[in-house]
Structure 1
Amino acid sequence: MFGWMVHPLAAFALMFWASVIFGRRGREWQAVALAAGVVVGLAALGADWVVHPAAGMLLGFFGSRAFHRWRERWPALLAGLVAGAFFMALGAGWLIFPLAVMGMIWLFTVAFTWSSEKNAAPLGAPPSVSALPEQGGGFPLGSFGSREEKVAAKAARREARRQAKARLETPPPAPAPAAPDLFTSYLRDERLPGEARAQLAALNLRTREALAYLDSLGQSGSEAAYLARAVRDEYAPTAVQAYLKLPPTLAGTAPLQDGKTGRDLLREQLDLLLNAVQDILNTTLQAGGQELLTHQRFLEDRFRKARRDLEV
């Protein structure tokens, strides 16, 4: 019905989708549902390619909003999850794997938070001031023989009470501020293009998965683990920082090399890092799969022999 017009309309729908989920309207489930409905509708009309970049942006949306004050934003997150189901049904089936990994990380984080809150020891009532003098070095009245000693004991009790009261009224020292997480800050940094934040979200998930898998294989000190950590802690932040140094009005328009803008170069560099981490995962998967293949050969030999014995 719309013919070729559905494709430019899909491009505008993609921009609308990015402006909603990465802007202030991303906290409202109605706006998220409307933007997703436009994308899904145009994909159903023929622009089926649009669900793939929309699904990548959705990963960035979850990465930036699901792990921080999610109780206030759960309607918008639920709307995004429903949108992801429609994207997968329309062709973006690859979305299920990063969503599953992100969901497991989110469940672990929530469970750990709830467990910490539930098992936190309640603050007990402060000790009675009247009980402190003897613990601070005083003695019960009556254990002294002379009047002077009793007066000295009373003075010691008063001083102990004063010191105990001062300790109770002194506020605890403020905790040291936590070190900022570069990935989390970049995922929420609106100076970055939407596709770059989506790439960072995918890179965050892949590097975490690669490091966890290498650690389970006892290869946390291997060259592959070093490379995965370098991608996350050095290479990706350096690329983003170099992009942010460009003038904002020219970063996406002025060509820097071979007609490519700063935005194009950032996208290419993040793609290279994503491919590098994926190669690490593929290599470690082959190494970790050898044990499974060995067990398969053992089972085949074992039951082939049992079948020959039964035939005899």
Structure 2
Amino acid sequence: MGFWDWLTGRDSTPPPAALPEVDPAPTEADIMASLAGVDQLIGSGRLPSVVRSRAARVADLVRKTLPRLESLGLGSYDSYSVVATATDYLPEAIGAYLRLPQDWADSRPVENGKTPLLLLIDQLDLLGATMQKIYDAANSTDAAALIAHGRFLQERFGHSAAPVDLTVPPATDQPATSLNLERP
């Protein structure tokens, strides 16, 4: 604001620029719809069997990981990778291959002597290995909790070397039964 603007009461400061709108994060319904689209591509018969099996593996790993995203930390790189694989990476890889004529895509070397088919297989293998690691990481939290609980139980109940003797109280007309559980 200059002196003249101050005297006249005018503000020469431009209004702040509007922030660009950001697309909202995909919802679970968006992710499942994208995976359903991938399933349609897989079942269309337009993909070689080697591609179908790899793409189905990636889609299956994403589906199994989705309910466990919270254990990865919402907003984490791994969570983002799962969502992006379902909504972008996997459909785009398959779509790029399908946009090519199949005879050309399966026989024409395009990069380092590899055909688009081989490039797609490499991409699907990479996505599959990555989704497997993320799925394992998502489950490791509960596995670690199970291990910790087992250690607690061992410390709490596993210190006695004497056998545990459990006597079942007799029913009205049956003699008492004794169970003697020996520890290995």
Q: TM-score when scaled to structure 2?
A: 0.63
**Please, which runs of 5 or more residues in structure 2 have no aligned partner?**
1-32, 165-184
Tell me if 1:269 matches 2:123. Answer: yes
Q: How far apart, CA to CA, are the structure 1 residues paired with 2:141 and 2:88? A: 26
Tell me if 1:199 matches 2:54. Answer: yes
Shift of 1:221: 4.5
Tell me if 1:257 matches 2:111. Answer: yes
Percent of aligned pairs with the same amino acid: 32
For 1:35-46, list aligned pairs within 5 A: none
* Match for residue 43 of structure 2 among 163, 172, 188: 188
**Please, which runs of 5 or more residues in structure 1 have no aligned partner?**
1-177
Shift of 1:306: 3.5
Shift of 1:273: 0.3
CA change 1:247–1:231 in 2 (3 A) is: same
For 1:51-62, list aligned pairs within 5 A: none
Tell me if 1:229 matches 2:74. Answer: no
Q: How far apart, CA to CA, are the structure 1 residues paired with 2:35 and 2:60? A: 18
Alignment correspondent of 1:154 = none
Q: How far apart, CA to CA, are the structure 2 residues paired with 1:302 and 1:179? A: 49
Q: How far apart, CA to CA, are the structure 1 residues paired with 2:62 and 2:132? A: 9
SS at the partner of 1:246? coil
For this pair of structures, how many residues does the alignment match?
A: 132
Q: What amino acid maps onto 2:38 in structure 1?
A: F
Alignment correspondent of 2:140 = 286
Q: What amino acid maps onto 1:209 in structure 2?
A: K
Name the Cα RMSD after superposition.
2.6
* Match for residue 300 of structure 1 among 111, 129, 154: 154
Shift of 1:179: 8.7
SS at the partner of 1:250? helix
Q: How far apart, CA to CA, are the structure 2 residues paired with 1:287 and 1:305? A: 27
CA change 1:181–1:286 in 2 (3 A) is: closer
The structure richer in helix per residue is: 1
Q: What amino acid maps onto 1:198 in structure 2?
A: S
Which fold has the larger relative contact order, with Cα–Cα distance below 8 Å and residues 6 or more apart in sequence? 2
CA change 1:180–1:259 in 2 (3 A) is: closer
Alignment correspondent of 1:112 = none
State whether residues 72 and 137 of structure 2, in contact with CA within 8 Å, keep that contact through their aligned partners in structure 1: no
Q: How far apart, CA to CA, are the structure 1 residues paired with 2:35 and 2:109? A: 33
Deviations 1:190-245 (Å, cap 9, x if unpaired)?
A: 22211111111111111010112334x48454432221111111001111111122
Please identify runs of 4+ aligned residues in structure 1 that moved more than 6 A.
Answer: none
Q: TM-score when scaled to structure 1?
A: 0.39
Q: What amino acid maps onto 1:200 in structure 2?
A: A
Shift of 1:276: 0.5
Q: What amino acid maps onto 1:210 in structure 2?
A: T
Q: How far apart, CA to CA, are the structure 2 residues paired with 1:288 and 1:227? A: 21
SS at the partner of 1:257? coil
Shift of 1:270: 0.5
